[in-house]
Amino acid sequence: MHPRILARALVVTAALCLLLPSAARATPTEPLELEHALVPSGECATCHLFFNPPAFEGQPNISPQAYTGSMMANSARDPVFWAAVPIADQDAPGETEDCVRCHAPRAFLEGRGDALSIDALAPADLDGVACELCHRMVDDGVTPPGNARYVIDDLAEGGLVPRRGPWAYAPEDDPQHPTSDDNAFIESGELCGTCHDVTTARERVDDDGEPMGVLFNEQRTYSEWLRSDYSGGTVRSCQYCHLPPLLDVAGCDAFNLAEKTHPTGGRRHDLVGLNLGVMKLIEGIYGSAGSGELDDGYFALSQARVADMQSQSAKLNVGFPDSVDLAEGIPALSISVINETGHKLPTGYSEGRVMWLEFTATYGDQLVYSSGRWDPRARTIEDDPQVRRYEAIAEEYGSGARHHILRNNHWIVDNRIPPRGLVPNVDTDPVGDRYALLDNNTWPGRDDFSYSFPPVELVDQGDDVAAELTMRVRLLYLVNTPDYVEFLRDENVTNDAGLQLAELFAEHGDPEPLLLELEEVTVPLMGLTPEGSTSTGGDASTSSTTGDGESDSDGAPTGESADATGAVGGSDSDGAPAEPDAGGEGCGCVAATPPRGLGVWLLLLLTGRRRRRVA
């Protein structure tokens, strides 16, 4: 075709596209395009913060505004995010707009997408992933999920844009704003995929440094779910776990206070993951102990839901022996770690995150065997040959630089546990040789392996100590490892956000591992050396099994305890220091701090105390 004819054809095609329905030609909403700005979430609280109706009495508050204490609501306040953004900009100037686009949507939409610090935001930007972002988002049928390419409905009715949600209203009801019954997208995993798949501009390379023909798959939480057994509609959607369904509940106070419900149901707006450490940090900054901008009650609700979710994330099956003879050691101790989530475990942002197994075997107060032991004083994971870690480690191939999110182009390892039924795809496949495809050509949703510990000589401690061996396996998860916090502090030469973050953690408490699962047994111990004999026992022993850990702890055994939310720390539930070798078990309570606001104070009266057994 002649170039002039081709050019004219393209012009005509473009003109015709302008005449098509908006859904067919819509594109992601860009800065300064909205005629109707996102309404601040605080205005939604006027109607969407309410008492539980009688059917939900005694349960944590179910009103939508309860999401205010979540990381989703506080994504624009996240100090770890703001410590990382300047480093990303140093590495790739101008490419951090996608980061702001996701964490501070209002800032991006109003032209502040180039922000490199929280100080560059307007007060309303701090809403983070605000109510209207999701409840006005639509599917244009063209834009694929990922990188926060949201399409926002901007067609108003009577001055307000309709909100999408599950409630159907009778003609006499007045929800105070237009509603839409087009709910297919807001109920879909694809809506979550808008932000929970992230691709950077670097081309991915293989282990030989050869280009793979795809851009770097920095995060794939949505795709992990989409290619798993969970996305078929018969098991669990993203919303099923993170916005649990409710039946027969209305959406606003006008109906709940009248003790009415709607059979169309709704969802709790917990929107939590397992980033408890930063959630507590944000509470310390913006709650009653800090600026007082946010009510502590919201954080109490969210933290209680984290405790519930962490107990549902994984299962442990451990083949403990019925007894242990020290002359034989433990030839084989089989363990299965089963992923109970709809995505990799752990998933999402991989920098500074690690899940691992800690095994300890003790005789009285003496450590006999260990692997992956967490040292809360040194804040390290024992780097023995058998340590079983679950993490994704990326680098810039060639330089070997790590933690530089916009320079990463090579996965060194990704041994996070796949979700059940995950089908092979270069974007979501594990990296390394830990897992093998099953007969049905899917990745296993579990990790099966075995520890082995050699014979050891151990002196009998007498009648005061029973001849028993206590074996304990804990599945632990740490967000923001010490080396990552140090990286954010040392590499940021743009501003002092990294230094501030390190100081905040020092002031409010360093991140502690979350206890996801625990199995423990005490069995008869044989082969003790008579008292008075020479013994070389007592040191932790390892096997020939090769692990993939990188930490370097060789500290003494500790008796760290787990608090009411399952964070492994250094105090018992009553606040007293944990006794050495206390076993890390017991009960703890979360007492809600009385909030300033009357509304949230009433919510906490309904919520009450939560007591959780962690072992």
Q: Are residues 251 and 394 in the same domain?
A: no
Structure tokens at 134: 């999701």
- How many Cα neighbours within 13 Å face the side chain of 603? 30
552 has pLDDT over 60: no
- The rounded mean pLDDT for the chain is 85
Of 44-48, 152-156, 169-173, 417-421, the range with the lowest mean pLDDT is 169-173
First to last CA, the chain: 74
Final residue of a domain: which of 272, 299, 325? 272
Q: Are residues 318 and 418 in the same domain?
A: yes
The number of folded domains in the chain is 2
Q: Are residues 131 and 194 in the same domain?
A: yes
Q: What is the mean pLDDT of residues 382-391?
A: 97
pLDDT (tens digit per residue) in 303-349: 999 999 999 999 999 999 999 999 999 999 999 999 999 999 999 99
Give the residue, 166 or 160, on which the prediction is more confident.
160
Q: Is residue 601 part of a domain?
A: no
Q: Is residue 488 part of a domain?
A: yes
Q: What is the mean pLDDT of residues 43-57?
A: 88
Query: Do residues 355 and 390 lie in contact, with contact meaning Cβ atoms separated by under 8 Å?
Result: yes
pLDDT (tens digit per residue) in 498-550: 999 999 999 998 989 999 999 999 999 999 999 876 544 444 444 333 334 33
Final residue of a domain: which of 272, 300, 327? 272
Q: Is residue 599 part of a domain?
A: no
Query: Do residues 444 and 438 lie in contact, with contact meaning Cβ atoms separated by under 8 Å?
Result: yes
Q: Are residues 347 and 483 in the same domain?
A: yes
Q: Is residue 198 part of a domain?
A: yes
Q: Is residue 13 part of a domain?
A: no
pLDDT (tens digit per residue) in 430-454: 999 999 999 999 999 999 999 999 9
pLDDT value at residue 566: 61
For residue 199, CA distances in Å to 17, 202, 292, 308, 341 come to 28, 9, 37, 31, 22
Which of 140, 184, 142, 136 has its CA nearest to residue 162? 136
Q: Are residues 227 and 368 in the same domain?
A: no
SS3 303: helix
Q: Are residues 448 and 563 in the same domain?
A: yes
Q: How far apart are CA 241 and CA 612, in angstroms?
A: 20
pLDDT value at residue 533: 64
Query: Do residues 100 and 112 lie in contact, with contact meaning Cβ atoms separated by under 8 Å?
Result: yes
Q: Scanning the structure block, which residue is given the tokens 């969970």? A: 230
pLDDT value at residue 171: 77
**Which amino acid is residue 525, in one-letter code?**
L
The percent of residues in the chain predicted with pLDDT above 90, rounded, is 70
Q: How far apart are CA 81 and CA 87, in angstroms?
A: 10
SS3 497: helix
Query: Do residues 101 and 147 lie in contact, with contact meaning Cβ atoms separated by under 8 Å?
Result: yes
Q: Is residue 284 part of a domain?
A: no
pLDDT value at residue 170: 76
Kindly state the DSSP code that residue 524 receives in the 8-state scheme: E
Q: How far apart are CA 283 and CA 205, in angstroms?
A: 40
Q: Are residues 118 and 236 in the same domain?
A: yes
pLDDT value at residue 610: 32
Q: Is residue 470 part of a domain?
A: yes
166 has pLDDT over 90: no
pLDDT value at residue 22: 34
Confidence of residue 261 (pLDDT cuts 50, 70, 90): confident
Q: Are residues 265 and 328 in the same domain?
A: no
pLDDT (tens digit per residue) in 185-230: 999 999 999 999 999 999 999 999 999 999 999 999 999 999 999 9
Q: Are residues 401 and 456 in the same domain?
A: yes
**Which amino acid is residue 606, in one-letter code?**
L
Q: Could you list the residue range(s) of the whole structural domain that residue 195 is in? A: 26-272
Confidence of residue 372 (pLDDT cuts 50, 70, 90): very high
Kindly state the DSSP code that residue 594 receives in the 8-state scheme: P
Which of 513, 565, 474 has its CA nearest to residue 272? 565
Q: Are residues 390 and 527 in the same domain?
A: yes
Give, to the nearest 10 degrees, the angle between helix 497-508 and helix 79-91: 150
Final residue of a domain: which of 220, 249, 272? 272
Q: What is the mean pLDDT of residues 122-128?
A: 96
pLDDT value at residue 21: 32
Q: Are residues 240 and 132 in the same domain?
A: yes
Q: Are residues 137 and 71 in the same domain?
A: yes
Q: Scanning the structure block, which residue is given the tokens 């480093």? A: 87
Q: Is residue 14 part of a domain?
A: no
pLDDT value at residue 57: 85
Q: How far apart are CA 406 and CA 256, in angstroms?
A: 47
Of 37-51, 118-132, 216-230, the range with the lowest mean pLDDT is 37-51
